[in-house]
Amino acid sequence: MPEGDTVWRAAHRLDEALSGRVLTASDFRVPQLATSDLAGRAVLSTVPRGKHLLTRVAPGPGGEEPLTVHTHLKMEGVWHVYAEGERWRRPGHLLRVRLTVGEQPSRVEALGFELGTVDLLPTAEEDSVVGHLGPDLLGPDWDAAEAVRRLTDGGERRARGVGEALLDQRCLAGIGNVYKSELCFVSGIHPETTVDEVGEERLGRMVALARRMLESNKARGERTTTGNTRRGQRLWVYGRGRQPCRRCGTPVLRDLHGPEPQERSTYWCPRCQPAAGR
């Protein structure tokens, strides 16, 4: 599942391609929206909200209310933008949403492939799909203190492993498996250490670090947490199971958790991140 910086880049591409232009065609290839038509409406903006994308369109020519195309990439989804005549990089049968602006020969298309979620709803009702999310690490609503409060609110949340807690989009929005593993490594904390054991002070430092990591990577083509942008050198532990830790040389461990086929991976160094009590 994509991280918040990936979603931010997707929103930025869609915003640049579509905003301020009138849709000349739309095509929703999901059963519940098959007859929906946004042609004639101007695109106002596309904004990210955690791992969600909100493409807002103006009222229709007949005075219809403003609408929002809500999409979520889930595991395999991606948005591409193509100029007239460009060859698609994904097969047509995987297309879920097609938004077109302009006419030939200057037509531009935004194509959403394998999107995990596609909704069309009144813009005034966006909270029904994203209102549950915590502060967005890359959003204007970012509030570090509120994120820590949500992470530590109640005994059940405090008893969770910090790795699991960081993935909870209700607490803070934008962290996925990559940043979870990288944050725990850089912080020297085993991912199964409970939130209560980590404590609010260290948790606050982790949250601040998460913000810095995503901010520094949001406009990059290739994500890095090590500061090294060379291929194979960009991450500390994620995707490096059985390879030597970059700090101590101990083989990095990997664990799978969650139901198939959406199992999540956690990577850590057993020496740099000892389990609690060892």
What CATH number does the domain containing 228 carry?
Answer: 1.10.8.50
Q: Are residues 113 and 192 in the same domain?
A: no
3-state secondary structure of 50: coil
Instruction: Report pLDDT digits (tens) over 38-58.
Output: 999 999 999 999 999 999 999
The pLDDT tens digits for 144-182 are 999 999 999 999 999 999 999 999 999 999 999 999 999
For range 204-233, the mean pLDDT: 95
DSSP-derived 3-state class of residue 135: coil
* C-beta separation of 111 from 31 below 8 A: no
Confidence at residue 77, expressed as pLDDT on a 0 to 100 scale: 96
Number of domains comprising the chain: 2
Residues 126 and 22 in one domain: yes
Q: Could you tell me the pLDDT band of residue 104, with boundaries at 50, 70 and 90?
A: confident
Q: What percent of the chain has pLDDT over 70?
A: 97
According to DSSP H, which parts of 119-270 are helical? 127-130, 144-151, 155-158, 162-166, 177-187, 195-217
Is residue 39 situated within a structural domain?
A: yes
Residue 222 domain-assigned?
Answer: yes
- pLDDT score of 90 more than 70: yes
**Local confidence band at 278 (pLDDT 50, 70, 90 cut-offs):** very low
* Same domain, residue pair 95 and 182: no
pLDDT (0 to 100) of residue 213: 97
Whole-number average pLDDT of the chain: 95
Question: Is position 225 within any domain?
Answer: yes
Do residue 12 and residue 126 come from a single domain?
A: yes
Separation CA 64–CA 173 (nearest Å): 32
**Residue with the two structure tokens 């404590």:** 199
CB 148 within 8 A of CB 195: no
Percent of the chain surpassing pLDDT 90: 88
Q: Are residues 223 and 111 in the same domain?
A: no
Residues 58 and 109 in one domain: yes
Same domain, 123 and 30: yes
Q: Is residue 23 part of a domain?
A: yes
> Of the candidates 200, 173, 194, which has an alpha carbon nearest to the alpha carbon of residue 54?
173
Instruction: State whether 154 and 124 are in the same domain.
Output: no
Dihedral (C-alpha) 227, 230, 232, 234: value to the nearest 10 degrees? 20
pTM value is 0.93
Q: What is the pLDDT of residues 239-266, one digit of tens each?
A: 999 999 999 999 999 998 755 545 689 9
Q: Looking at the structure, tell me whether residues 19 and 119 fall in a common domain.
A: yes
Do 103 and 159 fall into the same domain?
no
Q: Are residues 15 and 123 in the same domain?
A: yes
Structure confidence at residue 141 (pLDDT): 86
Q: What CATH number has the domain bearing residue 65?
A: 3.20.190.10
Residue type, 36: S
Which of 130, 160, 184 delimits the end of a domain?
130
Q: How far apart are CA 163 and CA 255, in angstroms?
A: 12
| Of 50-54, 135-139, 217-221, the least confident | 217-221
Within-domain flag for 186: yes
Does residue 2 surpass a pLDDT of 90?
no
* pLDDT band of 277, cuts 50, 70, 90: low
Average pLDDT for 203-230: 95
Q: Within this chain, do residues 152 and 92 fall inside the same structural domain, yes or no? A: no
The parent domain of residue 150 ranges over 144-268
Return the active site residues. Answer: 2-3, 51, 264
